[in-house]
Structure 1
Amino acid sequence: MSAVLERIKRFAKSPQGRRTIDQVRRTAADPRRRAQAQQLLGKLRTRR
């Protein structure tokens, strides 16, 4: 399991990882996208 975490850490520090993280942050800051994510999480929680 620690090998997976190391790969994630390396990716996050890479230029591509930084771009991806920035894109996710911008998307998460959008109120419409945030509402879509909350709706999806709500659906996933009720299925259990």
Structure 2
Amino acid sequence: MKLLTVREAAKQLALAPKTVRKLIKTGSLRGVRVGRLWRVDQDELDLFVYRRRT
């Protein structure tokens, strides 16, 4: 399991970090809360991209 920061996930998705946080909060993208910060598992990010393409 590789956890990415919101900024790293946003870079891979070509989105703003704020948009990634919104996707997490709405449940479109699964995120993990580590203290006050959100992290996104690389596998979850890959699955999100796959689902958006189909």
TM-score range, shorter chain: 0.3 to 0.5
Q: Which has the higher contact order (CA 8 A, sep 6+)?
A: 2
Whose helix fraction is larger, Structure 1's or Structure 2's? Answer: 1
- What TM-score do the two structures reach when normalised by structure 2? 0.30
Higher-Rg structure is 1
- What TM-score do the two structures reach when normalised by structure 1? 0.33
